[in-house]
Amino acid sequence: MKTTFRAVAFFAVLTCLSVPLWAHVVVKPSQAGVASFVTFTVSVPNEKDVATTEVRLLIPGGLTYVTPTVKPDWKIAVEKDKAGAVTAISWVGSLPPGFRDDFTFSAQVPAQPGEVAWKAYQTYKGGAVVAWDVDPKDPAAKDHEVLGKTGKGPYSVTKVVDDLFGSDAMMMKGAPADAAPPAAPASDPTATWALIVAVVALVVAVGGIFLQRRNK
């Protein structure tokens, strides 16, 4: 009985310690059409015993028209470079322990296929920061024990795909100006001969009726 209790307690503690690394900051959607306008959602969980006080998201190069959504009870700060491009968005407020929240913004993704890496930094009351900036393809991103000690975790990725015929991409981009008109369907020889035979048969029938009436 004691052995069983110890085993259960061990796994319970292990689970509690690993949860924050599984429930990490995620940016959705995970896929978008080239040059499309997208409303992104930053999902932030708080499984520590103190409040999250700030969420800072780095905006990768190539995104334009970056516009955060108003968030009641949260102060939003937008950072820009010298050219006026948005480089980061910060949400400052309070997210209690045991809760999660969503933060949204819209942007136009790049016009070329590729990947958008979302590096985020979650600050807790007291100043502790968890950096969600580890490449998910890096073997270290799967080592939860190491990540837990370093206060890091994997970042989210949005794949930008060339979906020219997707509804979103067509609405935002429109058809290319030099696009050739759709080709006319090739004629079917069998259908053509069937039409000729039908016309000839109709002419013969009408002619037969005319001759018959004339003989009478």
Q: How far apart are CA 18 and CA 72, in angstroms?
A: 31
Specify if 120 maps to a domain.
yes
What pLDDT score was predicted for residue 149? 65
Specify if 162 maps to a domain.
yes
Residue predicted with more confidence, 126 or 139: 126
Is the pLDDT score of 62 beyond 70?
yes
Beta pairing class for 152-154 and 129-134: parallel
What pLDDT score was predicted for residue 33? 97
Specify if 6 maps to a domain.
no
Q: How far apart are CA 33 and CA 166, in angstroms?
A: 8
Specify if 184 maps to a domain.
no
- Give the structural domain span for 103: 24-173
CA distances from 213 to 2, 129, 171, 205, 206 (A): 113, 102, 64, 13, 11
- 9 pLDDT tier (thresholds 50, 70, 90): very low
Is the pLDDT score of 170 beyond 90?
no
**Amino acid letter, residue 40:** F
Specify if 122 maps to a domain.
yes
What is the tally of structural domains in the chain?
1
Structure token pair of residue 192: 């053509």
Structure token pair of residue 170: 């067509």
Which of the residue ranges 85-94, 114-123, 166-175, 206-215 would you say has the lowest mean pLDDT?
166-175
Specify if 194 maps to a domain.
no
Q: What is the CATH number of the domain that holds 169?
A: 2.60.40.2230
**Residues 93-100: what's their mean pLDDT?**
97
Is the pLDDT score of 10 beyond 80?
no
Specify if 169 maps to a domain.
yes
Specify if 54 maps to a domain.
yes
Q: Is 62:109 a contact under the CB 8 Å cutoff?
A: yes
What pLDDT score was predicted for residue 148? 67
